[in-house]
Amino acid sequence: MTVEVRPLGDKCNIKCRYCYQEGIRTAGNVPTRYDLDAIVATLDKLAEPFSLFGGEIMLTRRPDLERLMRLGFDRHGGVGMQTNGTLIEERDIELFRKYHVRVGISIDGPGPLNDARWAGSLPATRRATARIEAAIETLCREGMPPNVIVTLNRMNAAPDRLNVLCAWIGFLGGLGVRKLRLHLLEQDETEAGEGLALTAQENLAALRRLRRLEQELPSVQFDIFAEMAAMLGGDDAQTSCVFHACDPYATRAVVGVESDGRLGNCGRTNKDGVTHLRAGREAFDRQLSLYRTPQADGGCQDCRFFLACKGNCPGTAIGGDWRMRSIDCPVWFGLFEDIETERLANGQTAISRSEHRSELEAKMIAAWSIGDNPTLHSLLQQAEAT
Amino acid sequence: MNSAGPTCWLTWPRPPLAATPREPDAAKATAQRISFSGPQARALWQPRLEPLRHAALAIELEMVRRKRIPATVLWTSYDDIGALTERARSIGLDAKPIKASLGYAADWSLEASIDDPKRLLDYAFLIGAAPLDTSIAEPAADGFEQTAIRFGYPACCAKSWADHLRRGGSDPLAGLLTCGDKTPVHAHVALAVLGLGPVRHAPCSSSCPATRERSHEFIDLGRELGFAEEMNWLDEIADWAVDASLVNGIAEVTTAAYRCTWLSDEGMPPRHGAAATRPAKRERAAAAIAKPADSADILTEIGIGFEAAGFDNPFAMRSRFSTVVWEQTAALRRAASVVHVGCGEGLLLELVSQTKPRLKLYGIEQDAAAAEAARRRVGASRPILGGSSIEALAALSRLAPEGIDLAFVDPERLGDREALAAVCAIAKSVIVIGTDRSLYRHNDIDTLAATMGLALLPGRAGRVSAALSATSGRPH
């Protein structure tokens, strides 16, 4: 479970044209103040490692930010932080070092490749991008290389730009960046974001190219490919939320601690401008429904990758309706196929082709039906033992 | 884990029910899946749900006691069976179990175990006057309509619900969404799905007058029994807008205060009937963003001339110059004029101008092609001076007789100390920048400066840039 602390909710200093939180901001559902004591009390209760998140977390008053960092350091030996990087200043570097802050920075590329992360005007956008690039280089030079999150879109991964993106990632690797997370652009919310999305074919081509790049750059790892391979191997211990059975009413992988200390959900499924609070009980209605719904109706019936994918993130569901499978299905399917082929060629397990697949699916469905969510790994172990 | 929640739940709708619905205890499951729209909505409505449940139960039992209906069905957990039967007996009614359902693992009490499965189940009880005929709760198909009427359905709704059950349906919301009535789903349905409120049965349509009549009777009885406040809340809720939809077998009801969902037996094409539609895409000020250029243009924009400037690649140059600007933010804030000596094609000047657009910017570049590229990048109003450094600096002193606040230089590229002295003569502050070439050779800015006999300002040097001390670079 990832606990995301969000003192200022979705408040942000820039307006990325594709941001999934823009609906909340447009609806005015952004807190103007926060209750740090309540937030800390909730974190005490959760007793889980946490990440500082937003909106933009660096908008938080520095003394308050430091208190949260200190709490994370004292309780858990460090704290994660996800930021757009534009507000990092010299004094923050010392805070990051002192409290073992693991910084993740979102940027789609250098200069013009990052133009979708809009800051109000083109000069302001470029200024913001330069500050992000500076923050990455500075953190690398300080021996604290950040993780970098890249969202693939037309500005950075269109066919005629993909090579530039790859070359830049190579540069980041030389600088010291070790981990990159790739996101597909969430196709919703804003008219301004229209036209930025790549087609499924372009996304798949981009991811395949980046996967080859990962093999060319041994020092750089893209989380997504290793996670997909792990899921096909039946190892879901370390994989990220998009491959787990996410309940948008009570997201398990991501729990938000909001400005007043209440628990919130992952914001990716908020499509109507409302930040709904967590439901009292987690359920797996989406997965149960997808499993029995024909693919032509937006389900996953008979997909051999269902156990590995589970319809992917509900925030990316077809038509913005969490009850449908991910609109990115063709992309994930293509990649799963690639990885499946390689695993089989290497003599490795691929649950999509395993003789145990039907049994595993039946057990998982039975567990979800009573609200339980066992790991794939545990079911696979049981199946192999019998 | 056993919650301290309610001990029994009403069904929605009241019988007759489908023989094996996916969620036999749908109202309980749905109530557990309420997701409030925010803390204020939760603070207001969560405390009201339990009194509303209490009122609904009391009214239901009173309807049975007064023989308005022959019986009703309540669900309860194993541990609360005793309390339920006792409550029924206390008002002269009988309670008989009619079915059981495996609940959710999260609800199982800590004491429950697979070895004692009865404690993992929820139980449905028929409550009515003795002698109780339990078959009335689950009649044969030809008895649906009459049974529905006995359980309090208006005739029109009894017929439509019986037809729905005979077609294999089980979810009253599906019946409502497919009835062809364009009227939005009534707000009390948003409570009915939780087993609360005045809509007890499966209405034949959203505008059914008989359903409204029965709702009024429910509310009147509630007031008569002393639930005045609760009935006022129901009046308040009646005006809510409700979105309801059923997609791929999952139902969802959304109000301004909360949304809830349940697993239905009925799969329907997406966005049927009064289904919730996503709000129209919000209009935003159109971002006046540049149209994507092609790959060659992009590389030009990122930065050309990196080799001459001492960098491994264009990304390194852009990143480094960005870092220089970032490190020198405070100095730039104080400055009114800046020169980059050896500005190449002007990337650093452009980054500086983006940080502080009103700065007076000057560039010095000996290479004519690079100087021209710099002019294109930073605009004609920012002079890019050609010729040797000495000549250009002389020209700069004529252009800016008051001097320049900040000069950026790569001392290695500048070459001789005479040129550096000339820079120091015209600039109030000189910033040394480290390129890939110089940092590979000298490792850091301190060593670079020391090797070249330059003194940096006291205090910690920047990582890739640092200010020369006032005496550094002056002719000895």
Q: B327-362 pLDDT, tens per residue?
A: 999 999 999 999 999 999 999 999 999 999 999 999
CB–CB contact A191 B35 (8 Å): no
> Residue B66: inside a domain, yes or no?
yes
Residue B7 sits at the chain A interface (C-beta within 8 Å): no
Q: Could you tell me if B449 and B332 lie in one domain?
A: yes
Question: Which of B289, B312, B355, B465 to probe the A interface (max A CBs under 10 A)?
Answer: B289
Confidence of residue B428 (pLDDT cuts 50, 70, 90): very high
> Residue B285: inside a domain, yes or no?
no
Which residue type is seen at B76? Answer: T
Instruction: Report the pLDDT value the prediction gives residue A297, as an integer from 0 to 100.
Output: 94
Instruction: Report the pLDDT value the prediction gives residue A58, as an integer from 0 to 100.
Output: 94
Distance from CA of A311 to the nearest CA of B (A): 13
Residue B331 sits at the chain A interface (C-beta within 8 Å): no
Q: Could you tell me if B339 and B418 lie in one domain?
A: yes
Instruction: Report the pLDDT value the prediction gives residue B112, as an integer from 0 to 100.
Output: 62
Residue B401 sits at the chain A interface (C-beta within 8 Å): no
> Residue B271: inside a domain, yes or no?
no
- Cβ-based contacts of B298 with chain A (< 8 Å): 112-113, 161, 164
Give every residue of chain A whose pLDDT is below 70, as ranges. 1, 22-25, 27-29, 187-193
Distances (CA, A) of A329 to A162, A202, A300: 21, 13, 9
Scan residues 27-46 of B and list those with Cβ closer than 8 Å to A: 29, 32-39, 42
Check whether B285 has a pLDDT greater than 70.
no
Confidence of residue B114 (pLDDT cuts 50, 70, 90): low
Distance from CA of A345 to the nearest CA of B (A): 36
Q: Could you tell me if B93 and B185 lie in one domain?
A: yes
Q: Which of B263, B282, B307 is the last residue of a domain?
A: B263
d(CA B179, CA A299): 25
Confidence of residue B123 (pLDDT cuts 50, 70, 90): very high
- Cβ-based contacts of A293 with chain B (< 8 Å): 248-249, 267
pLDDT in tens, B127-157: 999 888 888 887 888 899 999 999 999 999 9
Residue B296, judged by CB atoms within 10 A of its CB (0-12, 13-18, 19+), counts as: exposed
Instruction: Report the pLDDT value the prediction gives residue A193, as an integer from 0 to 100.
Output: 62
- Cβ-based contacts of B38 with chain A (< 8 Å): 29, 274-277
Name the residue among A133, A249, A274 with its Cβ closest to that of B33.
A249
Instruction: Report the pLDDT value the prediction gives residue B275, as an integer from 0 to 100.
Output: 37
Instruction: Report the pLDDT value the prediction gives residue B6, as an integer from 0 to 100.
Output: 64
d(CA A172, CA A153): 19
Name the residue among A121, A275, A292 with its Cβ closest to that of B38.
A275
Q: Could you tell me if B240 and B131 lie in one domain?
A: yes
Q: What angle do CA A250, A251, A257 make, to 5 degrees?
A: 90
CATH of the domain at B318: 3.40.50.150
* Chain A CA closest to residue B277: A321
> Residue B282: inside a domain, yes or no?
no
Name the residue among A133, A260, A283 with its Cβ closest to that of B39.
A260
d(CA A261, CA A281): 19
pLDDT in tens, B363-399: 999 999 999 999 999 998 999 999 888 899 999 999 9
Which residue type is seen at B448? Answer: L
Number of domains in chain B: 2
Confidence of residue B273 (pLDDT cuts 50, 70, 90): very low
Scan residues 176-215 of B and list those with Cβ closer than 8 Å to A: none
Name the residue among A116, A137, A288 with its Cβ closest to that of B323.
A137
pLDDT in tens, B51-65: 999 999 999 999 999
So what CATH class is A2-198?
Answer: alpha beta
Q: Could you tell me if B208 and B309 lie in one domain?
A: no
CB neighbours (10 Å) of residue B272?
A: 15
Q: Where are the domains of chain A?
A: 2-198, 280-385
Q: Could you tell me if B213 and B314 lie in one domain?
A: no
Q: Can you tell me the ipTM of this complex?
A: 0.91
CB–CB contact B104 A297 (8 Å): no
Spatial neighbors of A227 by CB under 8 A, at least 6 apart, are A238, A239, A240, A243
CB–CB contact B316 A171 (8 Å): yes
Distance from CA of B157 to the nearest CA of A (A): 29
- Cβ-based contacts of A298 with chain B (< 8 Å): 247-248, 270
- Cβ-based contacts of B313 with chain A (< 8 Å): 167, 171
Confidence of residue B183 (pLDDT cuts 50, 70, 90): confident
Distances (CA, A) of A29 to A249, A320, B39: 18, 19, 12
Q: Could you tell me if B326 and B390 lie in one domain?
A: yes
Output B454 or B230, whichever has higher pLDDT. Answer: B230
Instruction: Report the pLDDT value the prediction gives residue B113, as an integer from 0 to 100.
Output: 64
Q: Find out whether the peptide bond into B209 is cis, omega within 30 degrees of 0.
A: no
Share of chain A above pLDDT 90, in %: 75
Residue B103 sits at the chain A interface (C-beta within 8 Å): yes
> Residue B272: inside a domain, yes or no?
no
Residue B326 sits at the chain A interface (C-beta within 8 Å): yes
Candidate from A93-102, A361-370, B203-212, B281-290 with smallest mean pLDDT: B281-290
> Residue B269: inside a domain, yes or no?
no
Q: Which of B12, B11, B15 is nearest to B148 (CA)?
A: B15
Q: Which of B221, B245, B263 is the last residue of a domain?
A: B263
Instruction: Report the pLDDT value the prediction gives residue A333, as an integer from 0 to 100.
Output: 98
Judge contact between B269 and A297, C-beta under 8 A: yes
Q: Could you tell me if B203 and B304 lie in one domain?
A: no
Instruction: Report the pLDDT value the prediction gives residue B136, as an integer from 0 to 100.
Output: 83
Instruction: Report the pLDDT value the prediction gives residue B278, as an integer from 0 to 100.
Output: 41
d(CA B96, CA B131): 10
Quote the tokens at residue A325: 């499978």
Confidence of residue B270 (pLDDT cuts 50, 70, 90): very low
Instruction: Report the pLDDT value the prediction gives residue B418, as an integer from 0 to 100.
Output: 85
Q: Which domain holds residue B250?
A: 8-263
Share of chain B above pLDDT 90, in %: 63
Quote the tokens at residue A128: 């913001």
Q: Could you tell me if B177 and B302 lie in one domain?
A: no
Distances (CA, A) of B276 to A247, A284, A322, B30, B248: 19, 21, 12, 18, 14
The chain-wide mean pLDDT, for chain B, equals 87
- Cβ-based contacts of B269 with chain A (< 8 Å): 297
pLDDT in tens, B237-263: 998 999 999 999 999 999 999 999 998
CB–CB contact A115 B270 (8 Å): no
Distances (CA, A) of A288 to A246, A280, A295, B247: 12, 19, 14, 13
